[in-house]
A and B are shown apart, each in its own frame.
Chain A
Amino acid sequence: MTAPQRVSYRMESTLDSVNKAEEMADKVAAQAGIDEDTRSGVSMAVREAMINAVLHGNNYDPAKRVNLTLEQNGKELIVTITDEGRGFVPEEVPDPLAPENLLKESGRGIFLMRAFMDEVRFRKLNPGTEIILIKRLQSSDLGRQEAST
């Protein structure tokens, strides 16, 4: 099994940060032994959480930063993203699968995070929001870790 790993970044509220976070998540997930299909969902969840932070949280404000932490402890891949925005109430986000919302242009980000991760948690900060995304590693993932070491 590869050694536990934890990396943190303080990033600008830009689209470039969203793209970089997505790439880094894919890399850490690969190192954790997660297969390509599952990894693609994980990096999409991270992308959506970053879009939430950069766009809806910090509103692209150059004075505000996004913190990204990627961590794998041999059992789980844990991604933590915080912004400095006004915050929101996740329960108030409309269900994008409801018939009346199906043709809405936005509002699917949190749904996609939940679809691809095992656990998604939100915590209100002062100011801002923290999103924690967790993907539990399967025994096959751990096998791939061993094969790659």
Chain B
Amino acid sequence: MSMKASTRQVDGITIVDLSGRITLGEGSVVLRDTIKDLLSKGQKKILLNLGDVSYIDSSGIGELVSAFTSVRNQGGELKLLNLTKKVHDLLQITKLYTVFDVKDDEAAAIAAFSR
């Protein structure tokens, strides 16, 4: 299954709903292009909803890290929402869970962005 990304705006925050697999190849490219596009439009407060992401490989992890640093380097904020158990465990063992700001409630995540 390939990956799909759709974006929506809530209270000035861009929520990216991702579904499928973030893996080497198409999945990673979709995420990279989406973040690049948002940053080019000046949308720097980004919430990645990973609720429907079934699988991430090392390339996908690298892409999440890249998204995080790109947004941060432009003075923005990127947070993660609704991790599945598999993705949660993967971020734990790679010690990235504490690097990312991870939320499990959309409204609370939106409220947590700096204004």
Chain A interfacial positions (CB closer than 8 Å to B): 15, 18, 40, 44, 47-48, 51, 55, 96-97, 102-106, 108-109, 111-112, 115
Contact with A along B31-74 (1 / 0, CB 8 A): 00000000000000000000000000111011101101100000
Q: Which of B66-107 contact A (CB under 8 A)?
A: 66, 68-69, 86, 93-96, 99
B99 and A105 contact, CB distance less than 8 A: no
Contact B25 A102 (CB under 8 A): no
CB of B35, distance to nearest CB on chain A (Å) = 13
User: Given contacts A15-B25, A47-B57, A51-B24, is CB(A108)–CB(B63) below 8 Å?
Assistant: no
Chain A residues closer than 8 Å to B58, beta-carbon distance: 48, 51, 106, 108-109, 112
Size of B's binding interface in residues, CB under 8 A:
19
- Taking the closest CB of chain B, its distance from the CB of A99, in whole angstroms, is 9
Instruction: Report A-chain residues with C-beta under 8 Å of the C-beta of B93.
Output: 112, 115
Residues of B within 8 A of A (CB): 23-25, 57-59, 61-63, 65-66, 68-69, 86, 93-96, 99
* Residues in chain B near residue A112, CB distance under 8 A: 57-58, 93-94
Task: Please determine whether A15 and B95 come into contact, CB atoms closer than 8 angstroms.
Answer: no
A-B contact pairs, 5 of them (CB 8 A): A15-B24, A15-B25, A48-B57, A102-B96, A106-B59
How far is it, in angstroms, between the C-alpha of A18 and the C-alpha of B55 when the chains are bound?
A: 15
Among B57, B66, B86, B99, the one with the most A-chain Cβ atoms within 10 Å of its Cβ is: B57
